[in-house]
Structure 1
Amino acid sequence: MDLTQHFIKTKQPFADGFRWFLRHHKDGSNDQDLLDALVDAGRVNDACWLLDQFGPTNETLTLDHLARRHRVRGFVAVAADSVRASSGISAGAQINCAMHLEAGWGIRDGESIHARGAIRSGESLSAFETIRAGAGYGVFAGLNVQMEAWESSARVRASGRPEGLLSGWWAGARDV
């Protein structure tokens, strides 16, 4: 989707974010390039606002390594190494990770969550389709959850119980 100055202005953006857009993308931008630029610039709140206004993109974000303190959401995530986020991870289509996948909060996906290494989530894990760790690795949810909040905050939901689920409360298959 092409985003022009006029089009973004009709959505009544925050003044600071709009000034940043004018400085860095005065001739406009497509939605994925703008999302990538905002995340790279540390303007995650502006990227989340953009996703709230225009919805997720179906583009693929390919990374060699991701280690951010912020939420990543709205796209297919493909990582050539490990993915670690101290907050949460939410993707619109699928998450494929060449090694370990780890989030301090939850991991949520519109399709599937696959890693060749371990999958570790501080809170819940949720995928519409499958959750699959690599051969010999486990799936862990609720690593940062207090015992009294276990049933509501350490849930694991997918189309079927993940093989190697070692931590987390299996909440059953997702409704299709």
Structure 2
Amino acid sequence: MVLTRSFVRAKRPCTDGFRWFVRQFDEGGNYQELLDTMVAAGRVGDACWLLEQFGPTGEVRVVDAIEADALVFAGTLQVRGNVDVEGKLHVGGGLQVDGGVRVGGDLIVGGDLRVEGNVRGEGRVVIDGDLRAGWGVESAGDLRCGGEARIGWDLRCGGRLRLDGNAFIGLDLHSEGVLRCAKGLQVGGDIRAEANVRVAQGIAAGGSIHGAMHLEAGWGIKAGGLISADAAIRAGESLQAGEGIRAGSGYGVFAGLDVQIESWESSARVSAPEKPEGLMSGWWAGPAPC
């Protein structure tokens, strides 16, 4: 794919960036070669801007390993070993890694991210497609997954966590910011968020669930341990906890918000060892059967 000077000018680049482009490339050049040259010259931001404007390509590159200061690639990367990038890693297509991934800056993938090992991003992590990790995923900043997320071990996010598809986490999930999931959330261990938790469908955790503000699910919430929040607990259907259900001081516990009152006994049951204080709606069913 060849990008000409007129194509780039039509995207209205900044004056400094376009002048540099003309000095380096004159009338233009091969898309990926332009990106490589920009990154080599330390103009990683310009390379990312170019990729955002002209989008991904169908090129697939297979390599043994990646070790770089920064990398911007328009196509899909398949890596037999590990990926270790000190700065930003921006891939227009998918990224498939047989080892682990460590990125010192932002990790941005326009397609699916599939990693056999661990994923660690010291900036933002943005995956437009599905996210698959055999081990854990850790992001120092915000994390967004546009597709389905399947993570074998822990998911730890140092900022806001946004999951646009179903999410399956093998062990614990911890978010320092707001946790939002547009579908269902299933976690083998504990769920903990230091802000609001909002899940469009159901939440299921093998351990405990805690939200530092409101805890909300469009369907039901089920935990093997404690369901707790520092503010209100709201479920469209049922609530079930092995150890207890506790809302914040002065807040209520709401079940069956999306269920007709006459259907509460079957579809808005509240089960826990003790009746929650501040239970405002739903059918109190007592302890769940073993």
TM normalised by structure 1 equals: 0.73
Q: Which has the higher helix share?
A: 1
Which residue of 120, 131, 136 corresponds with 2:250?
136
1:156 deviation in Å? Answer: 0.3
Structure 2 stretches lacking a partner, 5+ long: 1-79, 81-93, 98-111, 119-133, 154-167
Identical amino acids, percent of aligned pairs: 44
Between 1:125-134 and 1:147-156, the stretch displaced more is 147-156
Q: 1:82 to 1:26 in 2, by over 3 A?
A: closer
1 or 2 for the larger relative contact order (CA 8 Å, sep ≥6)? 1
RMSD, aligned CA: 2.8
Equivalent position amino acid for 1:87 in 2: Q
Query: Which entry has the higher C-alpha Rg, 1 or 2?
Result: 2
Q: Which has the higher strand share?
A: 2
1:116 aligned onto 2:219? no
Structure 1 stretches lacking a partner, 5+ long: 6-18
Which residue of 195, 199, 217 corresponds with 1:81?
195
The separation in 1 between residues aligned to 2:147 and 2:239, in whole angstroms, is 26
Map of 1:94 onto structure 2:
208
Deviations 1:56-81 (A, max 9, x none): 63334234101221111114111111
The separation in 2 between residues aligned to 1:152 and 1:42, in whole angstroms, is 34
The separation in 1 between residues aligned to 2:271 and 2:173, in whole angstroms, is 24
Q: Secondary structure at the match of 1:151?
A: helix
1:25 deviation in Å? Answer: 4.1
Map of 2:263 onto structure 1:
149
Deviations 1:152-171 (A, max 9, x none): 10000011111111101001
1:65 aligned onto 2:160? no
1:43 aligned onto 2:147? yes
Deviations 1:71-111 (A, max 9, x none): 11114111111111111111221111111111111111111
Equivalent position amino acid for 2:145 in 1: A
1:127 aligned onto 2:241? yes
The separation in 2 between residues aligned to 1:173 and 1:21, in whole angstroms, is 46
TM normalised by structure 2 equals: 0.46
Given that 2:206 and 2:224 are in contact with CA atoms closer than 8 Å, whether structure 1 keeps it comes out as yes
The separation in 2 between residues aligned to 1:105 and 1:141, in whole angstroms, is 9
